[in-house]
A and B are shown apart, each in its own frame.
Chain A
Amino acid sequence: MRALTWHGKHDVRVETVPDPQIVNPRDAIIRVTSTAICGSDLHLYDSYIPTMHKGDILGHEFMGEVVDVGPGSTLQKGQRVVVPFVIACGKCFFCEKQQYSACDNSNPAEKADMSEVLYGYPMSGIFGYSHLTGGYAGGQAEYVRVPYSDVGPIVVPDGLEDDRVLFLSDILPTGWMAAENCDIEPGDTVAVWGCGPVGLFTIQSALLMGAHRVIAIDHYPRRLELARSMGAEVINYHDVKVREALYEMTGGIGPDAVVDAVGLESHGFTIDNMIDAVKTTTKLGTDRAHVLREAILACRKGGRVSIPGVYGGFGDKIPIGALMEKGLQIKTGQTHVQRYLRPLLEMIGEGKVDTTFLISHRLPLEDAPEGYKMFKTQQNEVTKVVLKPH
């Protein structure tokens, strides 16, 4: 089959590789019909992520048709499914608590050592995202093997075309969980730093959850325009000082909840990009820790801090005093995608959630290297690239 493979910094290629096979009883093989390039894929492209091997197949946002199943799969050939980027076994303590991104079993035993050393406990497996998260082949390919296929993939009805459901794989539930982590109450103002795909979906979700206002912060005009079209008020941080503007816009109280949808590339120790829930290519200044600091300082007393943005290493000068003295609560984590699939699919079907506005480019799989290049270099115009392997 054809697949997009990684070979080094700014070197991805479409190559012919062996077809995936059913290996374990609960596996399924998916014929990929749509797969997106994620902001976090650019970290692989830029070679920030360790434990990538030449020839690794990328891609963790994908969907397609079931073409083969193991005896333990509950899927049937011919079904259309969207596959979560997080691989979860469904049987461990964490999966039973619906903390799917903490799954204890999906990262193969021989791959789990590094994250256990880094974080104290191993991370779950993720498709197409280095060997730290399991070394699984990704979905920017004609076919992909999906382990634990009885737990992850959600079957979608034929009436819903790919563009409307593809982002269930990652960025839509990631934005939803970011808003959920804000514990929104009536009258609340939510401030969202970063208007990449996750930030935009956070805005949409926060308004659906009853936020009184959402204020979006970025500097790319096209992305601020998208945020405004979704109902957010906007701050262009090139024009004003963000904290002053937020103070003014909230009557001197501050936002009730703040969302860091940017994340951080820590210096020298680049595993921070390991798995990405940010999905934004927006770069808010060069000092990225600035966003988390600014969000904590801008948040009202007793407010909530939601961090969908990815951090992997160590943050410098986090204002722990402001956090404690103001009594803030922090919620964060990789997305428990499986938990949100069904309710979000329903909302898509009812027309309450729209994902199609984000897609700016559609390309055949063979043009994927060009897709990576333009996603990296034209961030204002290129909001999302979807690849079509078939």
Chain B
Amino acid sequence: MSSENVERALESDAPLSAAVHQRDVAHAAAEERSWREAAVVGRTVTINRPRQEVYAFWRDFRNLARFLENIESVEPRDDGRSRWRVAAPGGRTVEWDSVVTADQPGALIAWESADGADIRNTGTVEFRDAPPGRGTEVTATIVYDPPGGDLGKLVAKLFQKEPKVQTRRDLRRFKQLMETGEISTSAAPDPEHAGAAPRGGAQAQG
């Protein structure tokens, strides 16, 4: 492991790009958390809305299920934790509790899974002003512990074998919802479910 590479990634003007291409960064992330191993995914997107509004929408965790494809629901609880529920193949669900570890209004939200989670994960989403008139730059970074066995297969399926693909699709949906009030779809009409609105559509706000 090269801490030199980690340092270099962190000092880069594009730290996310540097990090996800540095295996050493994933190793360092695992070591820091005492995990067996870690995977790092991330993506930056510019959203043509004010920073406070974008932050507030994300901070209401119930909204996450509207654009994170694999998340069935996120229910905030009174103790500051939230319950994440993920739809799994075969009608199963995987659930875990998540704890907010940092919250800087308008700037940053960080969370991590509570002890005992099947899929250990931590995430950070940062909000910065884009150049004048262009809204907000949002960078999401997720570090997770890829489990083995059946769960490993589930995670691989959830992330469609390429976690970057899932992350960029999720952030595209987030951007669509914030900017247009809806999530773009070209899905063919289903004659058996006529009139059913897709998730994230009908009650969208922007």
Interface of B is mostly: loop
A186: interface (CB < 8 Å):
no
CA distance A105 to B180 in the complex (A): 8
User: Chain A interface: which size bin?
Assistant: 35 or more
CA distance A108 to B201 in the complex (A): 13
The B-contacting residues of A in range 22-47, CB under 8 angstroms, are 23-26
A180: interface (CB < 8 Å):
no
**Of B176, B182, B188, B202, the contact of A109 (CB 8 Å cutoff):** B176
Q: A96-B48, A108-B185, A125-B184 are in contact. Are A25 and B179 (CB under 8 A)?
A: no
The B-contacting residues of A in range 89-137, CB under 8 angstroms, are 89-93, 96, 104-113, 116, 122, 125, 134-137
Chain A residue contacts of B169, Cβ below 8 A: 109-110, 112-113
CA distance A110 to B169 in the complex (A): 6
Q: Are A109 and B172 in contact (CB under 8 A)?
A: yes
Chain B residue contacts of A72, Cβ below 8 A: 181-182
The B-contacting residues of A in range 118-167, CB under 8 angstroms, are 122, 125, 134-137, 145, 147-148
Q: Are B191 and A18 in contact (CB under 8 A)?
A: yes
Please count the residue pairs between chain A and chain B whose beta carbons lie under 8 angstroms apart in the complex: 93
CA distance A3 to B195 in the complex (A): 20
**Of A23, A91, A122, the contact of B198 (CB 8 Å cutoff):** A23
Q: Are A107 and B184 in contact (CB under 8 A)?
A: yes
Q: Are A25 and B184 in contact (CB under 8 A)?
A: no
A114 to chain B, nearest CB (A): 11
Residue of A nearest to B162 (CB): A113
Residues of B in contact, count (CB < 8 Å): 33
Residue of B nearest to A113 (CB): B165
Q: Are B46 and A93 in contact (CB under 8 A)?
A: yes
Q: A26-B180, A110-B169 are in contact. Are A105 and B186 (CB under 8 A)?
A: no
A79: interface (CB < 8 Å):
no
B134: interface (CB < 8 Å):
yes
**Of A18, A24, A112, A113, the contact of B201 (CB 8 Å cutoff):** A24
A21: interface (CB < 8 Å):
yes
Q: Which among B169, B179, B187, B191 has the greatest number of chain A C-beta atoms within 10 A?
A: B179
CA distance A20 to B182 in the complex (A): 18
Chain B residue contacts of A136, Cβ below 8 A: 186
Q: Are B176 and A105 in contact (CB under 8 A)?
A: yes
Chain B residue contacts of A108, Cβ below 8 A: 183-186
Q: A18-B191, A25-B181, A72-B181 are in contact. Are A92 and B186 (CB under 8 A)?
A: no
CA distance A219 to B147 in the complex (A): 65
CA distance A116 to B48 in the complex (A): 20
The A-contacting residues of B in range 70-103, CB under 8 angstroms, are none
Chain A residue contacts of B188, Cβ below 8 A: 18, 137
B173: interface (CB < 8 Å):
yes
Q: A23-B197, A96-B48, A104-B175 are in contact. Are A111 and B165 (CB under 8 A)?
A: no
Q: Are B134 and A93 in contact (CB under 8 A)?
A: yes
A19: interface (CB < 8 Å):
yes
Chain A residue contacts of B179, Cβ below 8 A: 89, 91-92, 104-105
**Of A18, A23, A90, A112, the contact of B185 (CB 8 Å cutoff):** A23
A133 to chain B, nearest CB (A): 9
Return 30 A-B CB contacts under 8 Å, by A number. A18-B188, A18-B190, A20-B189, A21-B195, A23-B185, A23-B197, A24-B183, A24-B184, A25-B202, A89-B179, A89-B180, A91-B48, A93-B135, A96-B48, A105-B172, A105-B175, A106-B184, A107-B184, A108-B183, A108-B185, A109-B170, A109-B176, A110-B169, A112-B172, A113-B165, A113-B168, A122-B172, A125-B184, A135-B186, A148-B180
Given contacts A25-B201, A96-B48, A108-B184, 8 further A-B contacts (CB under 8 A): A21-B189, A23-B198, A23-B201, A91-B179, A93-B46, A108-B183, A137-B186, A148-B180
A interface residues with partner B (beta carbon < 8 Å): 18-21, 23-26, 72, 89-93, 96, 104-113, 116, 122, 125, 134-137, 145, 147-148
